[in-house]
A and B are shown apart, each in its own frame.
Chain A
Amino acid sequence: DGGITQSPKYLFRKEGQNVTLSCEQNLNHDAMYWYRQDPGQGLRLIYYSQIVNDFQKGDIAEGYSVSREKKESFPLTVTSAQKNPTAFYLCASSVDPGPETQYFGPGTRLLVL
């Protein structure tokens, strides 16, 4: 079955530690996105990638980094510079960038110890 997978489902981060969230899609989509969701809130864009080897900052990119070395993979690293990382992180993809239907993964919940 085609879809988007995210791992792990839960992730714990210690103070000063970098952690990486995985996002993989087998839909052959060009565009991929990372969103952050805080309790009771909508989604906010962290980073997006319109094509392999290219990515741009979203609205809240500070303290995060990404790479897009393969079409199917778009990992997100939460660095120690992100002072409030506790949130629900969602990865999405679409056939093309722009007003296209986006398909979401199941999410990763990041907690700080």
Chain B
Amino acid sequence: DAKTTQPPSMDCAEGRAANLPCNHSTISGNEYVYWYRQIHSQGPQYIIHGLKNNETNEMASLIITEDRKSSTLILPHATLRDTAVYYCIVNYGGSQGNLIFGKGTKLSVKP
């Protein structure tokens, strides 16, 4: 089972920042937090990942709380093309290395 809890849906106005929360209260010390997104009928796309420190790349920023029990993905200037399901993942299924996806958050960016 997924070890994360995300809101099922969120709305964001185009051009504004989108802040997507994720709770992972049972995360282990060596587990990374990964974020992926899936645009309708396409394969998931990697966004960002982190362990303890906040991370930023060309797509987004990841803020992880000091106790590592929750995190927030920030899309600084959301566009209509950012409309997708966003998945927060912290569980790798042990030696399998697979990603365990929950149901994610459906982000709708509106004009």
Binding site for B on A (CB under 8 A): 4, 6, 31, 33, 35, 40-43, 45, 48, 50, 56, 58, 88, 90, 92, 94, 96-107, 109
Give the contact stretch, choosing among B10-18, B62-70, B96-104.
B96-104
Interface of A, secondary structure class, is: strand
Closest-by-CB residue of B relative to A96 is B97
Binding site for A on B (CB under 8 A): 2, 31-32, 34, 41-46, 49, 87, 92-93, 95-104
B98, A101: Cβ atoms closer than 8 Å: no
CB distance from B5 to the nearest CB of A (A): 13
A97, B97: Cβ atoms closer than 8 Å: yes
Asked whether A101 and B92 contact (CB < 8 A) given A48-B97, A50-B97, A58-B98, the answer is no
Of the A-B pairs whose beta carbons lie under 8 Å apart in the complex, a sample of 13, sorted by A's number, is A40-B103, A42-B101, A42-B104, A45-B96, A58-B96, A58-B98, A88-B41, A90-B43, A94-B97, A98-B92, A100-B97, A101-B34, A102-B46
B96, A97: Cβ atoms closer than 8 Å: yes
**CB neighbours of A97 from chain B (8 A):** 95-97
Known A6-B43, A56-B96; further 11 A-B contacts with Cβ < 8 A:
A4-B43, A42-B101, A43-B99, A48-B97, A58-B98, A94-B97, A96-B97, A97-B97, A99-B97, A101-B49, A102-B99
